[in-house]
Structure formats: C-alpha cells, structure tokens
Amino acid sequence: MNSKPVKSGSQHQARRRTGRYHHCAAVIQALLLILVTALFSPAHAMGNVVLESIKSTTLPGNRVQITLTASGPLMQPTSFTTDHPARIALDFTGMKSGLKNKTLPISVGMARSITAIEAGSRTRIVINLVASVPYDINLDGNQAVITIEGGNTAADQPPALQAEQSQEATASYTRSISRAQAIENIDFRRGSAGEGRIMITLSDPGTLVDLREEGGHIVVDFLDTALPRQLTRKYDVTDFATPVQTVEASPSGSNAKIEIFPIGNYEHLAYQTDRLYTVEVRPLTKAQKAKIEQDKAIFTGDRLSLNFQDIEVRSVLQLLADFTGLNMVTSDTVKGRITLRLKNVPWDQALDIILKTKGLSMRRTDKVILVAPTEEIAAREKLVLESERQIEELAPLRAEFIQVNYAKAADLATLLKSEENKLLSERGNVTVDERTNTLLVQDTTSKLEEVRSLVELLDIPIRQVLIESRVVIANDDFAKDIGVKLGGGYTADKAFPNSNTQALVTGGLPGDVTWNPAFGPTYIENPAGTGNDSLMVNLPQALSATRGGAINLVLARVASHLLRLELSAMQQEGRGELISSPRVITSDQNKAIIRQGLEIPYEVRSSSGATTIAFKEALLKLEVTPHITPDDRIIMDLIINKDNPDYTNALLGIPPIDRRSVETTVLVENGETIVLGGVFERDKTENIERVPFFGDLPYVGFMFKQRIERDENQELLIFVTPKILKDTLSIR
C-alpha cells in the first residue's frame, strides 16, 4: 500500500522533468526563430530604406491608386483605420522619409491628402479620406501599391438617400467641428535680430501641420483644424520692421490656412513647444541668401575620398563610374587635368564639383550618364528640338471628334484658335458642330493629345449661386388736427310774432336760426346766397371733411342771447411695408438679370409735328454677377432697381418715376445676409391758423385758432443673401 504513492511520485517527477525539457526546447526554438528572422529579414538585409516618392493615379469607378517608392525592398506594413476623421494609417518598419514635404495633396476620388511622418525606426503613412472606404495593399519589391475604393457617388444614389446622407454629413460635420482641433490665438512679435515671429496657439499639440513656400510667400496648413471667426482676417504687421508685411488667416475646407507674405531676402523656420507653434522669418543679406541657396543642394550618394595631383579628368570620371556601377559615356571633347582632394564626400557631390570646375554638364537616362562640355550638350539638344519640330511639320494630320459636355464648344474653339497661344500647330484647325456641341479638331497626333487634355481640364460643371434679394419700403405716418367754431346769436322777442322784427344772428351755429311764420327762417349767410352760417371763428379741422369728431358746447345763454363753441379734432396714424423679393440662380462669373414691372406709354413729337408712342420702364430689377472664391465666399457685382410710377403727380396723364437703386460690389460669406444700404426720409410739419390778438390770449386763445401736426417717415432697406448650390444640384 505504501509502494503506490512512491511509484506515483516518481511518475509525477518524471512528467515534470519531461515538461521542463519540452518547455526549454520550445524556448530555444523561439529564440532561434527570432534570431533567424532578425538575421535574414528584409529589414536586416537592406538596413534602413528611404521613402523616395509618392504618386497617385485615378482608376475607373472613382478609385485611387497610391504608389509608394522606396530605395529598397519594403516589409508588409501594419495598418489601422479611423472613422472620425476618416483615415488609413500604415506603419512601415525600417523605413525613413526622404520627402521634402510631409503632406501631399491628392484631391482625387475619396482621397484628400497623404502625410508621411517619421518616428524612430519607422515611418507612418496617413491617408486622409472623405469617408471611410475599403482599401487594398500590395507590395512589389521597393514599391507599395495602395488601392482605395471609390465608394458610392451621389449620382448613383436615389434622391431620398442623397438628401438623408447630406443631412447626416452636415450633422456629422457640425459635431466634428464642435469637437475638432482649433486655433485658439494668433500673435505676432519682433525678435531682437529683426526677425518676425508668428505665434499660433493650438488646442491640441498633436495637430498635423504642413508648412511650404508657394509663389514667394509661406503657407501653413493645419489639418482638420477649425479657425474661429474672430481670427479670420488679414493682419497688417508692417509697423514691426520685419521681413513680414502681412499675415492672412482663413479657413480652407476642414483645414485652417495661414499665409505669410514677406519681402526681400529671408529664411524661415518653424518649431513647436507644447501647444505653441511658431514660424520665424529672418532677414538675410544677398551673400547669406546665395550661400543658403548653394547649401540647399542635397547629395545622397555613397561617400568616398579622392586625393589626386594633376590627374586627367577622364580618369577621374572613369573612377567614379567604377565606384558607382553606373554606365558613363564621356565625349571625346572632354579633356584637361585636375587636382583634387576630397575626403568623405558623396560621390554625386564630387561629380558635380568636377563638372562645374571643367565647364562640363551631364545628362542621365536611367543608369547611363553622358558627360560632355556644356556647349556641346546645348548644341545637341538644340538639334534634337529642331529635328522634332521638322518631324512635327511633316507629321500626317489626323481628325478627331471631342465631345464637350458642360462648356460651349464655340468658346473652346475660340480659345484654341486664339493667336495669343500655340495650342494648335500651324497646320491645325478646329471647327464646331453647334447642334451636338462637338469639336472637330484636325492636327498632328501629339497636338491632338494636348487638345484633349485641355478640354478635359476646362470641360467641368460650373458651380452655381442662388441670390435672394429683399427690397423693403416701410412707412410710418402720423397726423393730428384740432379746429374750432365759435359763434353767437340774438333772437327777437317772440311775444310779437306778427311784428316786423326779424331774427338777428351774429355768427350762429347750425340750428341757431329762428322761424318766423310770416317771414320764414331768418339767419345771416356768409357768403350771401350760399346757405352757410356766418361764424365769428370758423377754423374747423381740415384733414378730412367727412371724418373726425366734434364737441359742441354752449358757453353761455342769457335771455335771448346765446354763445356756442364747437371743437373738432382728427388724428390719423398709418404703418405700412412694401416688400419685394426677387431671386435668381446663375453660374459662377456669369451675369444674371431678373425684372418685373410695367412700361408707361407717352407721346413723343418730332420737329415735323408727327407724334409717336414711346415707353418708359418702371421695373423691379436685380442684376448680379457672382464670383466664388477658393474659400467658398462670394464676390458680387450688384445693381438693384425699385421704380414705381407716381400717378398722383401725373403731368398730362404721364406719371413721374419714383426711382430707388443701388449699385455696389460686396464680399459675402456663403449663406450670409448683408444689408447693402438704406435711405431714411422724414417729413415733419406743424401748421397753426389763428385769429390775430384773440388767438394769443391766455386760457381762451384756443377758441380762436387751428393746429395741424404731421409726421411722415419712410425708410428703404435692401438685403441680399447668396447661397452656393451643391455640386450634385448644379450637375442636375
């Protein structure tokens, strides 16, 4: 019974020893595998390769093919993708970046740009996309081919899906902007040596930045970065006495762009400390500028050392050919001797020094280098060009039909036949079929290819703009009129109805007449025969004879004497708005006119006495020529007229024209409403009519005067709102 446990323990120990053996063997195998992989992997065999170029090609179906070319074989990269923002990231181990610019624009298909970032022993390739789409990677020696699918275009989708995706894209863009990287501040300072420092504060220190020099100014692009409206402007920094004159900050799609405009000789450098990105522009003398330009030449050949005393140039060139393994052809006219001592310099720099010293030049075709005197190479190239020209003059002519889709074929034909350019050869010709909008071009094969490329570049849909205008005429009128009637009367004694005494009325009011059975009604008329009562004060309100109100008061009555007062008043208030809203759609840089109104006829007499009918326009007219800027703002040349006939002041039945117009040029944001101008008119009057002396009496003077107040306001306002229509709507 005791032997079983012993036996069992022995077996257990044996199993433990066997497990340890297998574990050690597995570890040894793994270490050997890692060692063999490290020794014979491409990265080890090739050392560090350099990324030399990036090219993009458009494929059918809106696809894009990006080719990365390196100086040696590439390993399979590790990759990952992000959706917000849409990106493809590829990590190449053992590769360095030899590109001059970190970021290269593509703007083809679904790809926007590509960025190469070197970190340690690897290089990350980031492809910025419009939206997330599938992709494929193939390695072929020293090239990596990345194929990006085109996705679904708007033309392939039903309108309902397009609208839904447009709303989703707008909402996604709004959300991304609210969370995106942003520029918080832009500042400018002058250094102690006269350098200008543009200091940009970023919300995220990891913001990707592309700095380059274009057309004599410096451009800094901050990728996927928002620029606040208060920072979007042009900064004039000429007072700082630095090479920088102006700095302009503006949005560029989803990026923020800062353009620096220096003058004179300068050099620039950029550096970043945490969230502060600084671009420094230093002034240079002519000598310093020349030295920097000379030092810019980059030589990447293997290094060598040469030490020769009075050696033939041909021998040195042969030595360099043997060292590089290149095929070199040296002209018979290359002669002379040279003394040189070069230590640890690139072979291409040594060759450049030798050629410049002896007045030689080289032309390289693949792996063959031709070395000859500069004059000889220039003469050969001149002969080649002359022979090509003669061949072109003798080349057969071919005819080709080129379909024009969006542009006018007649306009393109005028451009091709213009004497200011040489788009066609001397024997070439172009005609237009206006019915099918087709160009018939007759020329040599090479010229036909150039014309076809030009037509593809120019024959694109033009963006369209909707211009909405509102012309508002607002009226605000007020009038108040207070008048008075004052009169008195005396009636004869009614105890003697048959007497000859008549009713005596002095300034009576309506109803203040007596009725005598023998004589009928008796009263005083003024003027005689009109039936109007004669009043002591007759200044009633005059705004409207049939409207208004009155208060009739009996001031005093003593026996047969009567004094009566009537106060009449009227107050008028009126407000009105006349709104005209013309709107029109036109394409970029094309004039559009919309008009509405009437033509007023009038007679025109000639010198012979004959009369003819002519017409004068009274129109509401909008005339606009828009221009869309690269940052999606709109420059508009505007002429707006609002004319109305004034029939109340017609002369011989012909009314004058009440004309309102504005003519201006404005720069407006897309969808922004701008007030072009306005005219405010106010007519305020106050009239008082009174009886002399009595109207100025205190307390009772109001019974002897009339007061009229008028206040009329009129205001003209003109609003304009331009909106850029989407490309899909423009195409439809």
Of the candidates 144, 136, 139, 152, the residue with the CA atom closest to the CA atom of residue 116: 144
In this prediction the pTM is 0.43
For the chain, the 3-state helix, strand and coil shares in percent, each to the nearest 5, are 20, 50, 30
Q: Which residues of the chain have pLDDT under 70?
A: 1-47, 84, 151-180, 292-297, 486-537, 544-565, 727-732
- What pLDDT shows up at residue 373? 92
pLDDT of residue 244: 92
Q: What is the DSSP string of 249-305?
A: EEEETTEEEEEEEE-SSEEEEEEEETTEEEEEEEE--HHHHHHHHHHT----SPEEE
Q: Which residue has the tokens 């060139």?
A: 317
Q: What is the pLDDT of residue 525?
A: 52
Q: What's residue 258's pLDDT?
A: 93
What local confidence, expressed as pLDDT, does residue 220 receive?
92
**Which tokens go with 422?**
């040489």
- Of 312, 313, 315, which Cα lies nearest the Cα of 323? 315
CB 261 within 8 A of CB 270: no
Question: Which residue carries 């075709």 as its tokens?
Answer: 365
What the block records as the tokens of 182 is 């942003």
pLDDT at 179: 41
* Residue carrying the six token digits 């595998």: 33
